[in-house]
Amino acid sequence: MFINALSNFLEKLASEKDLDEWYLSTFIDENIYSLSPTEAFELSSHVIELLKDEAQPDCTYELLSILLALQRQSDTTQIPDILKNSPNFFDDLIKNNSEKYVLNLAHELAKNYRMKL
């Protein structure tokens, strides 16, 4: 269900139709806060995979925001296996993105996952 909702959300972002200023907050409220901590932790790997593959390069901010919400909902600092296998993930993300809001999210996630930058 979450993966389908995320796909629909990303399609909607790509089309830029019917977006209001609360589009991201609404998505998080409706699709993440209802997840159990275990579900949120497991689904974070899917979002990380999207970021790693750069499948949605124009949605980096949104995907990082969703990943942060999933990390908080999972209520753990445990590092998903996909990040354990990519220790430079946040470093690479920071090198490839100069937008301050993306940098802030990447730094916060790295800190929450106790990863060094």
Q: Confidence band (pLDDT; 50, 70, 90) for 33?
A: very high
Instruction: Examine residue 16 and state whether it is found in any structural domain, yes or no.
Output: yes
Residue 24 near residue 62 (C-beta atoms within 8 A): yes
Instruction: Examine residue 55 and state whether it is found in any structural domain, yes or no.
Output: yes
CB atoms within 10 A of CB 87: 11
pTM for this structure?
0.92
Instruction: Examine residue 65 and state whether it is found in any structural domain, yes or no.
Output: yes
What is the Cα–Cα distance from 21 to 13, expressed in whole angstroms?
A: 12
> Is a pLDDT exceeding 90 seen at residue 28?
yes
Count structural domains, the chain. 1
Q: In the structure encoding, which two tokens stand for residue 104, read together?
A: 């802030």
Q: In the structure encoding, which two tokens stand for residue 7, read together?
A: 């796909």
> Is a pLDDT exceeding 70 seen at residue 55?
no
Instruction: Examine residue 94 and state whether it is found in any structural domain, yes or no.
Output: yes
Instruction: Examine residue 95 and state whether it is found in any structural domain, yes or no.
Output: yes
> Is a pLDDT exceeding 90 seen at residue 94?
no
Instruction: Examine residue 54 and state whether it is found in any structural domain, yes or no.
Output: yes
Nearest to 2 by CA among 66, 94, 84, 77: 66
Residue ranges making up the domain that contains 6 = 2-112
Determine the residue type at 71: Q
